[in-house]
Amino acid sequence: MDEDSRMIGLTAATLAGLGVALLARYVLALPEAVTIAALGLAYLAGGVPAGIEALRELFGRGKLDIDLLMVIAAVAAASVGAALEGAVLLALFSLSGTLEHRAMGKARRAVEALMALRPETALRVLPAGGVEEVAVASVALGDRLLLRPGARVPVDGRVVEGSGSVDESTITGEAVPVTKAAGDPLYEATVNLHGVLTMEVQRSLAESTVARMIALVTEAQAMKAPSERFSEWFGARYTVAVLVGAIAVFAGLLALGWALPDAMYRAATVLVAASPCAVVISVPAAILSALSAAARGGVLFKGGAALEKLAEVRAYAFDKTGTLTTGRAEVTQIVTVDGLSEAVFLAQLAGIEAASEHHIADAVLRHAKALGVEPQTLRDVLAWPSEGITGSDDEGGLWAGNQRMLTRMGAQALPEFEAMRQGAETVVHLGRGDRVLGAVTVADAPRTTAAAGIAALRNAGVSEIAMMTGDRRAVALRIAADLGIRPEEVHADLLPEDKVRLVDALAAKGRVAFVGDGVNDAAALARADVGIAMGAAGSEVALQAADVALLSEDMQRLALAHALARRTARIIRQNLSFAIGAMVVLVVAGLFFALPLPLAVIGHEGGTVLVVLNGLRLLRDPIRVS
Ligand code: ADP
Ligand code: MG
């Protein structure tokens, strides 16, 4: 039997026992033995498993569970002849525990559901023609798979044949289908809608986007938010205090000359009233709900800590290429010198870029492919973040990159490239030693959602926006103008360490988030209070360094995630103040105003359920742009 049905069964039995006892005593006036038997059932189902569990916590792990207080209070009530009141306590306690478990399970399951979406088999295309059905685990890199309409994509890869549209909402949270043609990436667990596609496997199952998401979520569960840690810490200390306090009340009342049953009843009431169930549950209820709502919208937080910090962020720094701009840049112009043919030039440039994961490399490779140019094979290829890339062929060293790379190589910018270098597109020079062989311009366009996302952040009270890029200032300004980013907010020609320095400067004024995608952003992502990586398209290093992964390409989600974080912080504050306030009222009433035990129980359990429900409100706020 699973945990869920076990809990439901026990709660049902407890409620039934209480119900029968009430009927037998007050409505049907049956012999007292019936009532006692029914109460016995309620105590057995509602108290014994919880009591054993709590004792195991106490002796096994040295943790005093709050549940133990409830059981002790019920037993105390029964021992002074208030067995019915004790049963009410156990029934409500069991009911709220089950509700809580189910509610929290709902929040947790949203992401675990992803695992269920991973297909188990794939259709492998046989070299001789035809297909065979194989287990996904046995699919190898480079295999070709056939995707029929309606099929889930079994692994990450690229379309090689056919075209159609794919529903990527499992990963990005975006309902709009994405059109796919040869060369486009496909992600595991997304759904091929209409077309028949042939795909090539490019990532092993363990490294797929979904696997990375699952890893992130598992990691997330280990990283508790500060307020979560506070409520746990508080809960643990306070539970001991409550137990000691109740004993003190009991002893004190006896000393004042109270009768034993009265003193015991009063102490049990105080025990229930003062138990911090609501305080302990109020934070995780809100955080889990928010994390789950965010995940459904394609924003993955690596834990509650990142969520809480994001709520306080007032400055956002963005990388340009691949973050504010789409990952799909285009080669717009080619200039070569000394009569070098474009085809030879492109074969060399594509050859050296073939090893790079930069968007520039992607553009060059696509361009070469479109022109039917086969990239040359190169050795010893080395990436220089924010500069370019170097390698060698039979004739010697070859390099590609920007002005920094030119300077490093002692090369001169020839007049032929002057027009390009004055323009507002990224210029990539190809050179050998100190000779420049030619250059291409690569243009990237802003993401369609970036302007709206930035505007929404500013509206939400984000006071500082900055663009930080390794690209030239002219290019950066062109993109910035489209996005409503002011020239003074643009920082160009940066090396990775410059980004860190600028993030540091912003951090001096308040919490900073850095949004980036590349290898050259990893340091800044790690340095920022909240590092946000472009997940599905970004580099693995960036994802590792970040606290949040944005799987959707939609920048408006970032603003929504920010709003969600702030709402979560507000709900946590509400919950904590309500829970502590209610507890104080109940304890005072219990100590000085002869609060009846059933009322204490109802106030206590009711408060617990209320804070859980208040937290669950966040679940209904998936990050979605209407
Ligand atoms: P951003 O910070 O905007 O993401 P990068 O720091 O990744 O940009 O790149 C900055 C510049 O470095 C690019 O505009 C380009 O000139 C050069 N560069 C980086 N990687 C490469 C590469 N693989 N090939 C050629 N040039 C590159
Ligand atoms: Mg980038």
190 C-alpha to center of ligand 2: Å? 25
Looking at the CA of 517, name the nearest ligand.
2
Per-residue model confidence as pLDDT tens digits over 160-187: 988 888 888 777 766 678 889 888 889 8
320 C-alpha to center of ligand 2: Å? 6
Residue that has been written with the tokens 């280990």 in this structure:
222
Residue 585: per-residue pLDDT: 87
Q: Please report, for residues 66, 113, 240, 544, 607, the alpha-carbon distance to residue 7 in angstroms, rounded to integers and kept in the order given.
A: 17, 22, 26, 38, 21
Q: What is the DSSP letter of 189?
A: T
**Residue 538 or residue 331, greater confidence:** 331
What distance in Å separates the CA atoms of residue 464 and residue 311, rounded to the nearest whole number?
A: 15
Per-residue model confidence as pLDDT tens digits over 195-244: 888 999 988 877 777 777 666 655 655 556 666 677 677 777 877 888 88
- Give the mean pLDDT of 573-599: 85
What distance in Å separates the CA atoms of residue 426 and residue 443, rounded to the nearest whole number?
A: 6
Nearest to 483 by CA among 442, 443, 445: 445
For the segment(s) 290-325+446-563, the CATH number from 3.40.190.10, 3.40.50.1000, 3.10.20.30, 3.20.10.10 is: 3.40.50.1000
Which percentage of the chain shows pLDDT scores above 70? 92
Q: Which is the closest atom of ligand 1 to the Cα of 519?
A: 7
Q: Which residue has the least CA distance to atom 4 on ligand 1?
A: 321
Residue 457: per-residue pLDDT: 92
Nearest to 323 by CA among 566, 536, 562: 536
Q: Please report, for residues 90, 282, 457, the alpha-carbon distance to residue 605 in angstroms, rounded to integers and kept in the order given.
A: 10, 13, 39
Q: Which is the closest atom of ligand 1 to the Cα of 442?
A: 14
Q: Where are the domains of the chain?
A: 3-111+217-289+566-620, 119-153+156-202, 290-325+446-563, 330-443
Q: What is the 3-state secondary structure (H, E, C) of 34-77?
A: HHHHHHHHHHHHHHHHHHHHHHHHHHHHCCCCHHHHHHHHHHHH
Instruction: Find out if CATH 2.40.128.110 is the number for domain 119-153+156-202.
Output: no
Q: Please report, for residues 334, 347, 350, 407, 437, the alpha-carbon distance to residue 341 in angstroms, rounded to integers and kept in the order given.
A: 10, 10, 14, 25, 10
Q: Which is the closest atom of ligand 1 to the Cα of 359?
A: 23
Q: Are 19 and 90 in contact (CB under 8 A)?
A: no
What distance in Å separates the CA atoms of residue 318 and residue 362, rounded to the nearest whole number?
A: 21
What distance in Å separates the CA atoms of residue 330 and residue 597, rounded to the nearest whole number?
A: 73
Q: Which residue has the least CA distance to atom 27 on ligand 1?
A: 388
Nearest to 272 by CA among 10, 17, 75, 48: 75
Q: Which residue has the least CA distance to atom 14 on ligand 1?
A: 471
Per-residue model confidence as pLDDT tens digits over 243-282: 888 889 889 888 888 888 888 888 888 887 887 778 777 8
What distance in Å separates the CA atoms of residue 598 and residue 604, rounded to the nearest whole number?
A: 10
What distance in Å separates the CA atoms of residue 231 and residue 59, rounded to the nearest whole number?
A: 22
Q: Which residue has the least CA distance to atom 18 on ligand 1?
A: 388
330-443 and 119-153+156-202 share a CATH fold = no
Q: Are 68 and 55 in contact (CB under 8 A)?
A: yes
Residue 174: per-residue pLDDT: 67
Q: Please report, for residues 31, 75, 453, the alpha-carbon distance to residue 49 in angstroms, rounded to integers and kept in the order given.
A: 28, 14, 51
Provide the Cα torsion 588, 589, 595, 601; round to 10°.
Answer: -70
* Contacts for 583 with CB less than 8 Å, ≥ 6 apart: 273, 274, 276, 278, 279, 607
β-partners of residue 514 are: 317, 531
Q: Which of 65, 67, 156, 319 is catalytic?
A: 319
Residue 626: per-residue pLDDT: 46
Q: What are residue 164's phi and psi, to 5 degrees?
A: 170, -165
594 C-alpha to center of ligand 2: Å? 66
**Encoding tokens for residue 441?**
């311009």
pTM score of the predicted model? 0.75
Q: Are 288 and 437 in contact (CB under 8 A)?
A: no
What distance in Å separates the CA atoms of residue 304 and residue 293, rounded to the nearest whole number?
A: 13
Of 360, 472, 473, the residue with max ligand 1 atoms within 8 A of its CB, to mutate for a pocket test, comes to 360
What distance in Å separates the CA atoms of residue 106 and residue 490, rounded to the nearest whole number?
A: 43
- Give the mean pLDDT of 13-38: 85
Nearest to 510 by CA among 532, 524, 530: 530
Q: Please report, for residues 121, 191, 292, 450, the alpha-carbon distance to residue 168 in angstroms, rounded to integers and kept in the order given.
A: 19, 7, 18, 20
384 C-alpha to center of ligand 2: Å? 13
Helices 597-616 & 260-274 angle (0-180, nearest 10)? 10
- Top-confidence range, 26-35, 90-99, 198-207, 617-626: 198-207
Residue that has been written with the tokens 């076990």 in this structure:
6
Q: Which is the closest atom of ligand 1 to the Cα of 322?
A: 4
Looking at the CA of 444, name the nearest ligand.
1
Per-residue model confidence as pLDDT tens digits over 427-464: 999 999 999 999 999 998 898 899 999 999 999 889 89
335 C-alpha to center of ligand 1: Å? 19
What distance in Å separates the CA atoms of residue 514 and residue 533, rounded to the nearest whole number?
A: 8
Looking at the CA of 361, name the nearest ligand.
1
Q: Which residue has the least CA distance to atom 7 on ligand 1?
A: 386
User: Taking the domain 330-443, which CATH number applies?
Assistant: 3.40.1110.10
Q: In what order do the strands lie in the sheet with 435-443?
A: 330-336, 435-443, 426-432, 396-401, 388-393, 379-384
380 C-alpha to center of ligand 1: Å? 19
What distance in Å separates the CA atoms of residue 121 and residue 145, rounded to the nearest whole number?
A: 11
Of 331, 387, 473, 479, the residue with max ligand 1 atoms within 8 A of its CB, to mutate for a pocket test, comes to 387
- Give the mean pLDDT of 133-153: 87
User: Helix (H, G, I), strand (E, B), or coil: what is residue 491?
Assistant: strand
Per-residue model confidence as pLDDT tens digits over 380-436: 888 888 899 999 888 889 999 999 999 999 988 888 888 888 888 899 999 999 999
539 C-alpha to center of ligand 2: Å? 9
DSSP code per residue over 512-566 = EEEEE-SGGGHHHHHHSSEEEEETTTS-HHHHHH-SEEE-SS-THHHHHHHHHHH
Residue 624: per-residue pLDDT: 59
Average model confidence (pLDDT) across the chain: 84
Q: Which residue has the least CA distance to atom 8 on ligand 1?
A: 470
DSSP code per residue over 347-361 = HHHHHHHTT--SHHH
The residue ranges of DSSP E strands in 78-203, in sequence order, are 121-125, 131-135, 144-147, 157-161, 164-167, 178-180, 185-186, 191-192, 197-201
Q: Is the pLDDT assigned to residue 111 strictly greater than 60?
A: no
* Contacts for 265 with CB less than 8 Å, ≥ 6 apart: 76, 77, 80, 82, 597
- Ligand 1 contacts (CB < 6 A) are 319-322, 353, 356, 358, 360-361, 386-389, 400-402, 426, 428, 469-471, 518, 520
319 is catalytic: yes
* Contacts for 619 with CB less than 8 Å, ≥ 6 apart: 106, 107, 289, 292, 293
**Encoding tokens for residue 214?**
């699952």
